[in-house]
């Protein structure tokens, strides 16, 4: 509720002092009671005060009477509520004065109860007018705030209309918003943000301020404290009180501003927002904040090289070592005061280097992955080093798993191609290098991979095919054993006999005899 001022005007000191001192004005929201001896004295006091809420004046006074005073107030201070005190013989005359803006009148001698009742009525009118005016002002300021934030055409607003409307804007945000809200449903998320907004508005209301709050992002609430017409905002005091009560991070305006300057101030607040991860958790940061940083941050080439070495040159990949290198990388970001945008750029570049390494290793197989750092991150959601580190760890884990799968698929495809070639040419003098060349890999890699996939080395696999072919020929043809030896790819007869006996337990001749008897 508002408080009001009244001016008692009477040329008789005992009457004006009596009215000033005997009535419990505070009961009617009147905290200041001024007195004047005539109309001219009243005008002087009103002009010095810059206006008055209520005037209680006698009609008959020297220099300037009550009716003249009422006429002056009606013309120059129309918001002032004027009430006249008149004698019976002045009553008809005073009654006409109502048409000139006088709100009410009293007959002498004054009935104190009647006076208090009429004062109470006028105060209620003042309060209602104040509320209507305040609501209208609030609506105008709110519309202007929306216009400034959302860039409505400026010609829709008359700047001169809002020159006296002062606000104090600040942005609040939730640290690691992504982690705190990851488990919430759409409805739960809406409730989370609504509770956040209510917390800010209720706290500022307790401090005596009306506010307009707008979610400019799901994790950015822009709040504008509206400066009361008759008081000042102390930004530091407000900032400290809210900071002590709630766990949000804040970027405060460095000063109270005119509402028409909000667009520029909001852009300044957004710029300073980038520095939040570099500020100690309980520090207050203002829109004029400046940090001494080099123009260009040094790229962590050494850590990148160590990470790639850990991924590609150590078999098998040791996940604890990969995790250590990621930790080293983000420790580097913190110690060198990287902004989150710079962190994102480094991680994105590093991820692309790693992808190229993998694709080079896998040859023609191109890998398509849905990695966080292969697209733009929302750094208002992921607004801390730890949030971004978690995403980077996820991306590397995805690459390691997916590309290992691709690697297995390629290995299976290579061995299938090799087996088809060997089955076609095992009757010739086929060699490891020949098959390796066909599938375009090194002989050492092929030998290792072939053993892993088939469980047999190259020579064992080829000799088994040759022995199986020899068995068919021994049973179904009259060819000599030495001829069969050459047909299946053996150049030396004795070696053929040795290999055949190893796989079948019999010499070729005994195998033919045994199968012939059967």
Q: Is 275 exposed, middle or buried, given 0-12, 13-18 or 19+ CB atoms closer than 10 A?
A: middle
Verify that 12 and 124 share a domain, yes or no. Answer: yes
Helix intervals (H) in 151-225: 177-181, 186-206
> So what's the pLDDT on residue 454?
86
Does any domain span residue 486? Answer: yes
Please name the helix (run of DSSP H) or strand (run of DSSP E) that holds residue 149, with its range, or none: helix 112-150
Does any domain span residue 487? Answer: yes
> So what's the pLDDT on residue 153?
56
Verify that 125 and 18 share a domain, yes or no. Answer: yes
| Among 405, 423, 443, residue at a domain's last position | 405
Cα separation, 302 vs 308, whole angstroms: 10
Does any domain span residue 391? Answer: yes
CB 78 within 8 A of CB 101: yes
Verify that 10 and 125 share a domain, yes or no. Answer: yes
Verify that 8 and 125 share a domain, yes or no. Answer: yes
| Among 405, 429, 452, residue at a domain's last position | 405
Taking 70 as the pLDDT cut, the residues of the chain under it are 1, 88-100, 151-164, 229-231, 243-247, 280-283, 313-318, 360-368, 402-413, 517-518
Verify that 177 and 212 share a domain, yes or no. Answer: yes
CB 7 within 8 A of CB 54: yes
> So what's the pLDDT on residue 154?
55
| CATH number of the CATH domain containing 258 | 3.30.70.120
pLDDT tens sequence across 15-69: 999 999 989 999 999 999 999 999 999 999 999 998 999 999 998 899 999 989 9
Verify that 497 and 418 share a domain, yes or no. Answer: yes
Verify that 357 and 423 share a domain, yes or no. Answer: no
Verify that 346 and 435 share a domain, yes or no. Answer: no
| CATH number of the CATH domain containing 74 | 3.40.50.2300
Does any domain span residue 279? Answer: no
- Quickly list DSSP for 319-376: HHHHHHHHHHHHHHHHHTT--HHHHHHHHHHHHHHHHHHHHHHHTT-------GGGS-
Identify any residues that bridge with 168 across adjacent strands, giving them in sequence order: 225
Does any domain span residue 246? Answer: yes
pLDDT tens sequence across 373-397: 888 899 998 989 999 999 999 998 8
Indicate the pTM of the whole model: 0.61
| CATH number of the CATH domain containing 509 | 1.10.10.60
Q: Phi and psi of 362, rounded to 5°? A: -90, 0
Total number of domains in the chain: 4
> So what's the pLDDT on residue 460?
93
Identify any residues that bridge with 105 across adjacent strands, giving them in sequence order: 84
> So what's the pLDDT on residue 364?
47
Verify that 368 and 418 share a domain, yes or no. Answer: no
User: What separation in angstroms does the CA of 400 have from each of 306, 314, 362, 394, 404?
Assistant: 16, 13, 13, 10, 6
Strand pairing category for 220-226 and 166-173? antiparallel
> So what's the pLDDT on residue 468?
94
Does any domain span residue 278? Answer: no
> So what's the pLDDT on residue 406?
58
Verify that 394 and 472 share a domain, yes or no. Answer: no
Verify that 125 and 29 share a domain, yes or no. Answer: yes
> So what's the pLDDT on residue 260?
87
Does any domain span residue 388? Answer: yes
| Among 219, 247, 268, residue at a domain's last position | 268
> So what's the pLDDT on residue 86?
82
Cα separation, 141 vs 259, whole angstroms: 7
Does any domain span residue 340? Answer: yes
Domain encompassing residue 172: 158-268
Verify that 400 and 427 share a domain, yes or no. Answer: no
């Amino acid at each position: 509720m508002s408080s009001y001022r009244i001016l008692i005007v009477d040329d008789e000191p005992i009457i004006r002092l009596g009215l000033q001192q005997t009535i419990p004005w505070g009961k009617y929201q009147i905290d200041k009671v001024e007195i004047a001896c005539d109309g001219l004295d009243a005008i002087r006091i009103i002009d010095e005060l810059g206006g008055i809420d209520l005037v209680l004046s006698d009609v008959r006074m020297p220099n300037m009477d009550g009716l003249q005073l009422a006429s002056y107030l009606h013309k120059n201070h129309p918001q002032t509520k004027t009430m006249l005190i008149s004698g019976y013989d002045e009553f008809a005359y005073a009654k006409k004065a109502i048409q000139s803006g006088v709100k009410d009148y009293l007959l002498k001698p004054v009935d104190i109860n009647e006076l208090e009742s009429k004062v109470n009525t006028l105060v209620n009118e003042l309060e209602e007018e104040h509320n209507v005016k305040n609501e209208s002002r609030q609506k105008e300021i709110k519309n202007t705030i929306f216009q400034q934030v959302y860039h409505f055409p400026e010609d829709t607003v008359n700047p001169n209309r809002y020159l006296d409307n002062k606000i104090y804007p600040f942005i609040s945000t939730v640290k690691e918003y992504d982690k705190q809200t990851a488990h919430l449903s759409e409805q739960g998320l809406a409730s989370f943000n609504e509770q956040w907004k209510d917390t800010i508005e209720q706290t500022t209301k307790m401090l005596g301020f009306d506010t307009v709050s707008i979610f400019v992002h799901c994790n950015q609430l822009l709040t504008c404290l509206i400066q009361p017409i008759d008081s000042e905002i102390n930004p530091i005091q407000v900032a400290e009180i809210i900071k002590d009560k709630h766990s949000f991070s804040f970027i405060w305006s460095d000063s109270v501003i005119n509402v028409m300057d909000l667009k520029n101030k909001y852009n300044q607040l957004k710029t300073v927002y980038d520095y939040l991860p570099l500020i100690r958790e309980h520090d207050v940061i203002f829109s004029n904040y400046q940090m001494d940083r080099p123009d260009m941050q040094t790229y962590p080439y050494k850590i990148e090289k160590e990470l790639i070495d850990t991924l590609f040159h150590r078999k098998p990949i040791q996940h604890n070592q990969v995790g250590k290198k990621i930790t080293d990388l983000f420790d580097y970001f913190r110690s060198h005061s990287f902004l989150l945008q710079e962190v994102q750029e480094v991680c994105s570049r590093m991820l692309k280097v790693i992808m190229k390494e993998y694709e080079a290793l896998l040859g023609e197989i191109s890998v398509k992955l849905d990695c966080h750092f292969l697209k733009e991150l929302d750094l208002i959601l992921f607004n801390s080093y730890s949030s971004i580190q978690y995403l980077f760890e996820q991306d590397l884990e995805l690459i390691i798993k997916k590309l290992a799968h691709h690697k297995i698929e390629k290995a299976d495809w290579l061995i299938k191609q090799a087996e088809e070639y060997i089955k076609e040419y095992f009757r010739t003098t086929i060699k490891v290098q020949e098959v390796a060349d066909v599938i375009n890999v090194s002989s050492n890699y092929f030998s290792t991979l072939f053993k892993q996939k088939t469980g047999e080395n190259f020579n064992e696999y080829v000799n088994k095919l040759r022995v199986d072919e020899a068995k068919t020929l021994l049973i179904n043809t009259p060819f000599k054993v030495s001829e069969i030896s050459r047909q299946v790819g053996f150049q030396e007869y004795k070696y053929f006999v040795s290999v055949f006996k190893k796989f079948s337990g019999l010499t070729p001749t005994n195998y033919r005899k045994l199968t012939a008897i059967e």
